[in-house]
Amino acid sequence: MLHRPIERAPKRRRAGRRESRLLSNIAVCGICGLTLIGDVDSDRDTRTYACKKRPAEPGACGGINVTAARAEARVNEEVVVFLNDRRRVEALLEQHRLSGPERDALDARYAELQDNKIVLEDAAFNPPAGVSRLPRERYWELRTQIDQEQDQLQRMRAVSREVQPLKAVMKRTWTEESWLAQPLEWRRAILHLVTERIEVAPDPGHGGGKKGAMGGTFNPDRVIVKFAA
- Tens-digit pLDDT string for the chain (229 aa): 334 433 333 333 344 457 889 999 999 999 999 999 999 987 788 999 999 998 888 899 999 999 999 999 999 999 999 999 999 998 888 777 766 787 788 889 999 999 999 999 999 999 998 899 999 999 999 999 999 998 888 777 765 667 778 888 888 999 999 999 999 999 999 999 899 999 999 987 654 333 333 335 789 999 999 998 8
pTM for this entry? 0.64
Where along the chain do its domains lie?
28-94+175-227, 98-162
Which element (helix H / strand E) includes 88?
helix 86-96
Inter-CA distances, 121 with 71, 116, 138, 141, Å = 56, 9, 11, 12
Q: What is the pLDDT of residue 17?
A: 56
Measured distance CA(60)–CA(83) in Å, rounded = 32
Neighbouring C-beta atoms of residue 116, cutoff 10 Å: 16
DSSP state of 215: S
Measured distance CA(42)–CA(214) in Å, rounded = 18
- Going by C-alpha positions, the residue among 106, 95, 74, 112 that lies closest to residue 228 is 95
Residue pair 36/28 in contact (Cβ under 8 Å)? The answer is yes
Q: What is the pLDDT of residue 201?
A: 95
Which element (helix H / strand E) includes 80?
helix 68-83
Q: In what order do the strands lie in the sheet with 195-200?
A: 28-29, 195-200, 223-227
Residue pair 179/187 in contact (Cβ under 8 Å)? The answer is yes
Residue pair 229/95 in contact (Cβ under 8 Å)? The answer is yes
